[in-house]
Amino acid sequence: MASAGLRPMPRVKAIDVNDVIDAFASGLSDFLKAPAYGLAIGALFAAGGLFVVLSAAALNMSYLSYPAAAGFVLIGPFAAVGLYEVSRRLQNGEELSWSAVLGTMWAQKGKELSWMAFVVLFIQIMWMYQVRLLLALFLGFKSFASFSEFLTQVITTPEGLMFLAVGHVVGAILSLILFSLTVVSFPLLLEDDRDFITAMITSVRAVAVSPIPMIGWAFVVTALLIVAMIPAFLGLIVVLPVLGHTTWHLYKKCVELPEE
């Protein structure tokens, strides 16, 4: 018999491609209804990415600019917490103000969302560690005077091409793991007082129940983020909020909280 204090798990519902398209349309609608919030959060995120790349260049490690930028994007789910709150308020017809949104974000300090942020950070550290490891394995402990020199070495030598191939495979695996753990866990923790383990299990279940639409959405997210980063991260100012709002609506389609 289940313990009286044991809360039932959230119910995960199967979705299809049409649900993903509908969630995207709803996410775009939320962005257009409250653009100031999305643009501000997107601009802060873009500035953070640019800072990471410029820091690598300033430390004479410009060859790490690309993997550092890719690793930075992994924190997107955490950066989008404010966007989830905007969508939640719009969906429930609640007051929308900076004090309300920022207050909700601040209230998460010390709660389970903080542990989810640690999970994201841990995977980001793993990403940067495997980049350095693969660099040592395939290119040795060489130093590069500039990013162009590093790029030449990578795309014109067998070792460099192998580094690119293996690095992208490992990166794709880590990204899929992170996506599976976080695609609905952050919105779930924002809406319901759950532990982060339950949130991650629910997120993985959501991907497992609807693998084709969810993994398809992961590819769309990856493609949009890559395109958004090309013009000095400026595309993230719009792309991040649209993706964040869409994630909220996707979560609402995937997960149903039990009545208690």
Global pTM value: 0.85
Q: Which domain holds residue 224?
A: 13-255
- Which pLDDT tens digit goes with each residue over 216-235? 999 999 899 889 888 778 99
In single-letter form, the type of residue at position 48 comes to: G
Q: Is residue 48 part of a domain?
A: yes
- Which pLDDT tens digit goes with each residue over 107-152? 777 678 888 888 888 888 888 888 888 888 887 766 666 667 777 8
Q: Is residue 1 part of a domain?
A: no
Q: Is residue 163 part of a domain?
A: yes
Q: Is residue 212 part of a domain?
A: yes
Number of domains in the chain: 1
**pLDDT above 90: residue 1:** no
Q: Is residue 79 part of a domain?
A: yes
Task: Give φ, ψ of 38 to 5 degrees.
Answer: -65, -45
Q: Is residue 8 part of a domain?
A: no
